[in-house]
Structure 1
Amino acid sequence: MKRLLALAVALCLCLSILPGAAWETTSGTIGESHVSWSFDETSGRLTISGSGGCEVFTSPEDQPWAALRDEIQEVWFYDQADLAIENLAYWFTDCVNLTMAEVPYTTSVIGEGAFAGCTSLVRLMLYYSSGENFSIDPGAFRVEEVVETAICYPSRNESVGLVLAGYDWEAENRSVSWYDVYGAMPLLYCYEGGSAHQGDYFNKVWVDSCRYNIYCKWCGQYLGQYLSHSFVNGVCTKCGKTNGSSSGGGSTSCSHTSTRMVYTPYSEPQHSYEKKCSSCGDTLSSGKEAHVDDNQDNICDRCAYEMTRFSVTVPTSLQIAMSPDGDVTTADVGAIVNRSTGDVKVSSLQVKTVNGWTLVPYGTDMAHQKVDAKIIGFSIAGTQTQKTGTTESLTLDSRWTIPQDGSLALPYDAVVSACSQSVQEQVMTLVFVLEWA
């Protein structure tokens, strides 16, 4: 359910003015496609989002973020169901400080050079449902010296594990370990079976009347010890243990041999659960746990609770370059992207100058202003400054409402008074307040 009270999020954006200088672009689109990218300089996170596919890279120089390689630490793909990126060849080559990355389940090929030269990559997350959905080309993960890397994938999908195990990680100088992407349990590698170890019912070895060991059905690796009682009227006929008790003897009217789980919505982040006997209805155990949404449909897979998610991505900085003759150039900073479970809106936008700068109406003719007056007029997404001072709340209209899974482009411009010398400083802070529409 959607919250009754509005959820407000305030984000600050900084504006830089660099007369006669250039900057590193931190967002944009890939070619002429609808696949967009943005880089957060604070966290080192590169985010890929949008829809559809794009041209296959033929070399690392095709990376739009090539100038940021040394700064990228994480890679995340949003809107995975909408993306159709065929091949990740050369996407992250030589991102030497990249430590963690995920691959969208809609990408069919992890191509040559995809993560080659990523000497700090220690965690890779995959979400494929079948081994038929993807392949890995030789050279995709190549590094010069051995790097330990954790490969996280859905362990219940055995065919995915077989594809991963069949890849020559040793030739790539990757020492890999296996983990379930939806949990924290390590999956030990089985060199006989070519995947994680798998237990087999027929490989039980009984220790006594009620305990047995399980071994890998492929290589014989010991996987643990389990219990198997035979209760009649609540008492195990093998060892005398009472059902549900730590001591022997006694009896109950039901052996509770068949159980079922009952899940009930409890709160926005949690549901309650009960383990009940299918025969008598007794509650055998209970508790609370976080909602589970493996299929990412915003509905809990266990209790059917409709989960509310407020998730909005806003560019972190705006940059302006002013040439010696006064021409102003702005960067393409992308858009505000709404990945929430409903429509959101920018309810207020406040502009505040810093470092001695003064706001003026965007229509001010700077040709008649004094040199080094340190005044600036600003426009963003069709909304302009109208007053003179250090702070102004801009007037917003319906264009600032962003539908679910939609975006709001943020084209911007400025008029700036002439400067007698180069200036490189923050001149403005923008505070966006977002809430449910």
Structure 2
Amino acid sequence: MQSEAGRRVLADAHGTFPHTADTIAGMATFTRARVERFTALAVGAGSIALGVHSLLTALGSTAEQPEWRTALMVLVFVPLAAMIIGCLVGRQVRLTAGVFAVAYPLALLAWPLAVAGTPTSPSDGPWIWLLLNVATVAAVLSFPLPLQLVWTVMVPVEYGIVRWAQFDFAPDAAAPVGLDVIYAIILGSVLLTLDRVYRAVATDVDEARAEAVASYAAAAAADAAEHERIAVAALMHDSVLAALIAAERAETPREQALAVAMAREALTRLANTEQDAGEGPDAPVSVNELIERLQRAAQEVGVDLLVQRSLADDAVTVPGRVGRALVLAATQAVANAVEHAASAGLAVTVDDGAESGGIRITVRDAGTGFDLGAVPDDRLGIRASIYARVAAVGGRARVSPTGEGTSVVLEWEPAS
């Protein structure tokens, strides 16, 4: 019972925070995933602007030999287009960005061959220069931090060497080329730093929110447990104690029968504390209907249960209150097997009791078992929901945990 209450508390705590598609845990509104998505969108939008500018410049450029210009444009702009699409739709961002981050330095290596013998001015930046920081930020999207640092510094340096080599390392070309390299390194460093800062902040926010939810859930669970203990204490005082007093004072058969009825009602109320289930009608129900009820109840705890039947007479019926108690107790046993044994080896059988007209329900699992004597007194999942519930209708319950699994046997036989 307490595990179910704990799940309800966590669900209530979870519901106090906004939910978005990017927050799988559902607890954060400013998460690392959202930051990564925003970064990808920003890179995609910026790459569109720089890519269009670079493409128009490349189409009108005469600095490269025609065959080289076509090859370089394919090598650069096809991966760039794939990266832009990936960033905008949010799919395969790391892969497409990594491809462009690798393709761009390769295009730089081929640049001296493409412009060999073509005069140009060091102050006139070529179209490939416009995409320099797109390549460095693509590394930020795709690579781990060490490679991000390498790309932020080495790609601009590579551009500077290639560009300076285009002018045969002339001294007067060193200053404008060097400034381009410095600007590219500074801008790439700023972009890398901003990305790291935003990711760190988002991670801290996620952790703080997770801790807040955990603290809230713990406090709410403690409060719920306290209210539960108070309710059970009041029930014990009002019902069980009254039944014990009546039993102690009973002298005549009528008084003794009344004390037994009071005790049975107190046990039933104690067993149904967490469900507020009443006695309900006592019309007889068939064993087949009990099995159907048990299977429906098991579906509510996430199990498609197939109950094995071994009945000499399928027409056997039990009183309605007995059927409800057995179904609720068996459902609790199934829920315990799901929670503590992960449904391993879960099997439920229904067969005839030791006497004619009786019924026996057995719930088995192949979990690791537990120490029945070590169950805390405030855990009512076995004591109230199984033992007390079955005892309240004149039945017997037996829980047998072992190292190879747990067996719960519920038996009821009609009074002779």
Pair in the same fold by TM > 0.5: no
TM-score normalised over the length of structure 1: 0.18
Q: Which has the higher contact order (CA 8 A, sep 6+)?
A: 1
Structure with greater helix share of residues: 2
Structure with greater strand share of residues: 1
TM-score normalised over the length of structure 2: 0.19
